[in-house]
Amino acid sequence: MAQLSLRSISKSFGSGASAHRVLHDINLEIADGEFVVVIGPSGCGKSTLLRVIAGLEDCDSGEVALDGYVINALEPAKRNLAMVFQNYALYPHMSVFDNMAYSLRIAGFNKNTVRAEVMAAAEKLELVPLLDRKPRELSGGQRQRVAMGRAIVRKPQVFLFDEPLSNLDAKLRAQTRLEIQQLHRQLGTTCLFVTHDQVEAMTLANRIIVLNAGQIEQVASPEEIYMRPSTIFVARFMGSPPMNLISNAAGIEAGIVVGVRPEDWIVVETGWPMRVEAVELLGAERLIYGRMENQRHQNHVVVRIPAFASVPEVNDVLHLAVAPGKSHYFNERTGLRISHY
């Protein structure tokens, strides 16, 4: 286990006038044993950041340090980090056992040690019955567990996960998320996990890093990210459906955007009018889509209600208010949260 430090990390692709800056002055401290998730839209620099840490890409400036020791000059194999990829990267001609044992054999460990380490990891991941199979005989979830097992036997200081669940179906993703949570509790190893999936971020992380165009928008606990987004970008990105953002709202001064989570609306007798455009049933709840009326800008709004509540018809007008203490306010020009409004 180790503390991972990123100090003023910047990275560009290309050179001269055509250079494209992918990471902008990234500073971050990840505590020993912490599980941190990096989330953001495609192209925001998530995977590049992970590759810089792993040594697969060189940064233009800045330092990567483990327990205070700068590792920029070390080759990937000597950084004592283990990376789990989206595409599993298993050797197709090798058995599960041999895939998991490969790095230990290359490092020169004796047969007894290799077998003991592989069996210990296989038991943690429920892979013992599959050790003689080839990757082509495994499901996607089983292949991902083998990839994790291969990383575990190395006993790295830090695990790096690059969207490891992206190729799995919804059921397997949920199951593998639980397995990763359990594995982290057992091993206590520092983890940095890259994803574009909000559910993965909210359920796995001790802290979440929201990345946007190569810059950190917010670093906080999942609860803080959801309940107190620091910018309009975070408010839009985190949440499904995302936070409603209302410009030029009645009774609110100019230049301020009001944010309301879909579940924080209350249907009232007199309030902001919303004309219903669509209603979706999602099992235990419904989503009501519509537009705020009598606004200078027609703000699209989503309201979340229990499935058993009275269901409006398309073209009905609902009057909405915000639950006490649940409004969020942002500066329209800077996009930053206003905490004193």
| Token couple for 263 | 């579940």
Tell me how far apart the alpha carbons of residues 322 and 22 are, in angstroms, rounded to a whole number. 39
- Among residues 238, 149, 161, 227, the alpha carbon closest in space to that of 192 is found at 161
Q: Give residue 116's pLDDT.
A: 95
Q: 14 is written with which tokens?
A: 């290309």
What pLDDT is stored for residue 294 in this prediction? 61
As a whole number of angstroms, the distance between CA 332 and CA 341 comes to 13
4-229 and 241-331: identical CATH topology: no
The reported pLDDT for the residue numbered 44 is 93
Could you read off the pLDDT of 63-85 as tens digits, one per residue? 999 999 999 999 998 999 998 88
Domains in the chain: boundaries: 4-229, 241-331
**Are the beta carbons of 17 and 175 closer than 8 angstroms?**
no
Residue 299, SS3 per DSSP: coil
- Confidence band, pLDDT 50/70/90 cuts, at residue 178: confident
Name the pLDDT band for 254 (thresholds 50, 70, 90).
Answer: confident
pLDDT tops 70 at residue 298? no
* Pairing status of strand 35-39 against strand 207-212: parallel
pLDDT band at 175 (very low <50, low <70, confident <90, very high): confident
pLDDT of residue 296: 57
Helix (H) or strand (E) holding 172: helix 170-187
Question: In CATH, which superfamily holds the domain spanning 241-331?
Answer: Nucleic acid-binding proteins (2.40.50.140)
Q: Are 46 and 40 in contact (CB under 8 A)?
A: yes
Closest C-alpha to 53, from 37, 74, 32, 24: 74
> Is pLDDT above 80 for 125?
yes
**Residue recorded with tokens 């990839």:** 147
Task: Note the pLDDT of residue 12.
Answer: 93
- The C-alpha atoms of residue 334 and residue 315 are separated, in whole angstroms, by 35
Q: Residue 136's CB: how many other CB atoms inside 10 A?
A: 9
What mean pLDDT is reported for the chain? Answer: 91
* The predicted structure's pLDDT at residue 97: 96
By residue count, the chain amounts to: 341
Q: For 4-229, CATH number? A: 3.40.50.300
**What is the reported pLDDT for 20?**
87
Predicted local confidence at residue 1, as pLDDT: 63
The pLDDT value recorded for residue 158 is 94
CA dihedral over 91, 93, 95, 97, signed as positive or negative: negative
Whether 140 contacts 167, CB under 8 Å: yes
Question: Which residue bears the tokens 């009905």?
Answer: 316
pLDDT of residue 290: 95
Strand order in the sheet with 215-220: 81-84, 158-162, 190-195, 35-39, 207-212, 215-220
> CA-CA distance, 217 to 178, in Å (whole number)?
27
The string of pLDDT tens digits covering residues 12-66 is 998 777 788 999 999 999 999 999 999 999 999 999 999 999 999 999 999 999 9
Query: How far is 306 from 328, CA to CA, in rounded Å?
Result: 23
Paired tokens of 274: 């919303």
Task: Give the pLDDT of residue 330.
Answer: 95
Please provide the distance, in angstroms rounded to a whole number, between the alpha carbons at the two ends of the chain. Answer: 43
pLDDT tens-place string over residues 195-230: 999 999 999 999 999 999 999 999 999 999 999 999
Q: In what order do the strands lie in the sheet with 272-282?
A: 265-268, 317-322, 272-282, 285-292, 300-306
For the cut 70, the answer to whether the pLDDT of residue 251 exceeds it is: no
